[in-house]
Amino acid sequence: VSLQIMVPGQGLYMFTCRVREVMSSARAGLKLEHTDDSPHPNRREYVREQVNFRFLVRNESNAKPTQALAHDISGGGLAFLARCTLPIGHSVWIDLPASVMGEPTTIKAKVLRAVARDSVGTIRYAVMWEEMPSKPQETLIRYVQSEHLRRFRA
């Protein structure tokens, strides 16, 4: 069994363990075997939430911004789809809309991953925020938490 537990204000914790016993009484449940040497340690510091909004992205060699579609976002980074070439390991600038940050905000990020999605050039990117001051990061974390609650209540 793989579990993900969100602890408000602390992040998302993930671990894998075996089911020791299935309890099928009036209060059904699972008894789990858990050790601290999980093969899947928590690597996320922030809760990640699926989103769907458009924004602009640009890199140092391409001052002209490209429109992108956000897939998921957290206090630590962003995954998105775009039809442009962004080199892995290089910095990019993400122009987040006012609907996310309260006002239009540009944040520097580092490209960590790029995976081709289709034959027309759409690429799924993952970036990690760089040089983000604490106030915008707090705003972003609040946005992610509000989106999580909105989706949970729907």
Reported confidence tier of residue 44, pLDDT bands at 50, 70, 90: low
Type and span of the H or E element at 149 = helix 134-153
Query: Has residue 6 got a pLDDT over 70?
Result: no
How many CB atoms lie under 10 A from the CB of residue 130? 13
Question: What pLDDT was estimated at residue 24?
Answer: 84
Q: Any idea which of 6-10, 54-58, 74-78 has the lowest mean pLDDT?
A: 6-10
Question: What pLDDT was estimated at residue 11?
Answer: 58
What is d(CA 137, CA 15) in angstroms, rounded to the nearest whole number? 26
Question: What pLDDT was estimated at residue 120?
Answer: 85
Strand ranges, E, within 17-130 = 18-23, 29-33, 49-50, 54-59, 62-73, 77-82, 91-96, 105-116, 123-129
Q: Any idea which of 16-20, 40-44, 63-67, 120-124 has the lowest mean pLDDT?
A: 40-44
Please count the residues of the chain.
154
